[in-house]
Amino acid sequence: MNTPACDRIIIFDTTLRDGEQSPGATLNVEEKLTIAKQLARLGVDVIEAGFPFASPGDFEAVSKIAQQVGTEEGPTICGLARATKQDIESAAKAVSFAAKPRIHTFLATSDIHLEYKLKKTRQDVLQIAPEMVAYAKTFVNDVEFSPEDAGRSDPEFLYQVLERAIAAGATTINIPDTVGYTTPSEFGGLIKGIKENVPNIDQAIISVHGHNDLGLAVANFLEAVKNGARQLECTINGIGERAGNAALEELVMALHVRRQYFNPFFGRPPESEAPLTQIDTRQLYKTSRLVSNLTGMLVQPNKAIVGANAFAHESGIHQDGVLKHKLTYEIMDAQSIGLTDNQIVLGKHSGRNAFRTRLKELGFELADQELNRAFLRFKELADKKKDVSDWDLEAIVNDEAQQVPELFRLEHVQVSSGDHARPTATVTLRTPDGQELTDAAIGTGPVDAIYKAINRVVDIPNQLIEFSVQSVTAGIDAIGEVTIRLQHDDRIFQVTGQIPISSLRRLMLM
């Protein structure tokens, strides 16, 4: 390959595009911007910020991310477009504000997609793909082309499409396993075949994109890397369509921890210490928490790298081993993903300066106003809780990051429930113009009763479809993460917030 970037892995993050396609994971523009800023701190090379033609909200998010995050030193900002002029124009406009803009255009190549979805022939694809790549090229230099469902496409046809897309100016060709169907050796073989059979392949970076329907996405990507793929399209926590995408944190840590194994595939000696990606691994945990908080998609405790149990040792034999020497049962250091051993640092006597300094150490730089608000929350918590851990601090800050303008304020809530009583709630809300309104309702449980009572006051038809609580810090006085999903017409609204578990417990016991 003759492209300089090929001597390492390019991390293309699609959390804000494919990740946001996870059922129920809608993010507003401000939330997308918050995540994009964190992705830039994490060190991703490319942010696929959205699908601009899909909705005005997506267009706005991509434009804002391009303006605010797509700086000269920042990542490339990419917008997705189907292989149509309208889509490409919209993506071009949205990414035009970035110092390094990219258009990613795609067209399916599998017979099943051509026949049933697109109603097009192979001949049509051979004509449209290069035409649309060339059209995208009139707006930006950096054009990525994806033959959708490549994993189930006829390789001989795929080679022809790719050759034409590269000839038309595609600088990255991305090979999607759209339905998560391939196995690692098949996917590696597909990349090998492309390298051997597409005559102009050395003019483009080979990228891979894959879904986790069979739980094989990360394994497939690592096999693709061994066969020449140099860009990996992935999402934080592996969120995305259906079973999700390949998880960024798993790929990055696999390449980091098993560097000696992968180095030779990059023409390096096995012992080379040079990183294979530009990711600051110490930002991984924080990014995972942020994405989980803002999307409301909880991370399973046994999730590799960022799950709550990923570094926890329960068995006596393991604990004994780890105490004697960490490497007995740990292949990586918790600090390498940004978890600190030093989790108890602040208490109720700590001042603003210590608070600010600790937040800075954790990678949070808050504006004065945000800091003041976060400090008040910290003081409230420190009054109730002897030790405030880094996880508590992070929970407080992330909650601040998602403050939204308050329209109705909850002034009062009262619930009664019991084994023979019907759960009943009374709520008082203050309206945006200062009026106090009170109503009461019966529900299937205390939380349902509260929401029914709120509905009677606000008179906006909606249904509570999910209420979940997950403890994010340890102990009886831990912080809990609450996720609420409401449905209004056919739209789902979601909010995540942090409150002390003890106050929820009181509510549940009422």
Number of residues that bind Zn ion (CB under 5 A): 1
* Rounded CA separation 150/209 (Å): 10
Smallest distance from the beta carbon of 15 to ligand KIV, in angstroms?
Answer: 12
CB of 209 to Zn ion, least distance (A): 6
Identify whether the C-beta of residue 495 lies closer than 8 Å to the C-beta of residue 468: no
Backbone angles phi, psi at 95, to 5 degrees: -85, -5
Q: 10 Å Cβ neighbour count for 380?
A: 13
Min separation Cβ 187 and Zn ion, Å = 14
Q: How many CB atoms lie within 10 A of CB 349?
A: 7
By CB under 6 A, name the one of 209, 256, 259, 452 that touches ligand KIV. 209
332: region left, alpha or beta (phi > 0 left; psi from -120 to 50 alpha)? beta
Query: Would you say 182 and 189 are in contact if contact means Cβ atoms under 8 Å apart?
Result: no
Using CB under 6 A as the binding rule, whether residue 48 contacts ligand KIV is answered as: no
Nearer to ligand KIV by Cβ, of 18 and 58: the residue is 18
In contact, 171 and 143? CB cutoff 8 Å: yes
Residue 100 makes contact with ligand KIV by CB under 6 A: no
Q: What interhelical angle do 368-384 and 390-401 show, nearest 10?
A: 130
Contact with ligand KIV (CB under 6 A): which of 13, 45, 87, 148? 148
The interface region with Zn ion, picked from 15-23, 37-45, 183-191, 309-317 by CB under 5 A, is 15-23
Report, in Å, the least distance between residue 266 CB and ligand KIV: 25
What span, in angstroms and rounded, lies between the C-alpha atoms of 465 and 488? 10
Choose from ligand KIV, Zn ion, none: what does 106 bind? Cβ within 5-8 Å by kind: ligand KIV
Choose between 18 and 223: whose C-beta lies nearer to Zn ion: 18
**Which among ligand KIV, Zn ion, none contacts residue 400 (Cβ within 5 to 8 A by kind)?**
none
x/- track of binding to ligand KIV for residues 168-197 (CB under 6 A): --------x-x-------------------
Tokens coding 91: 């993506």
Tell me which of 18, 45, 48, 149 binds Zn ion, using CB under 5 A. 18
Structure tokens at 137: 């090229």
Sheet containing 463-471: order of strands: 463-471, 479-488, 491-500
Residue 50, both tokens: 């959205």
- Choose which of 9, 12, 16, 18 interacts with ligand KIV (CB under 6 A): 18
Q: Does 146 bind ligand KIV (CB under 6 A)?
A: yes
Comparison of 17 and 286: residue with beta carbon closer to ligand KIV: 17
Q: Give the list of residues 6+ apart from residue 65 with CB closer than 8 angstroms, or none.
A: 16, 32, 33, 36, 47, 49, 50, 77, 98
Part in contact with Zn ion (CB under 5 A); list of ranges 17-25, 136-144, 319-327, 449-457:
17-25
Interactions with ligand KIV, residue window 211-240 (CB under 6 A): 211
CB of 250 to Zn ion, least distance (A): 17
| Pairing mode of beta strands 10-13, 46-50 | parallel
- Least distance CB 442 / ligand KIV (angstroms): 45
* Chain contacts with Zn ion (rule: CB under 5 A): 18
* Chain contacts with ligand KIV (rule: CB under 6 A): 18, 106, 146, 148, 176, 178, 209, 211
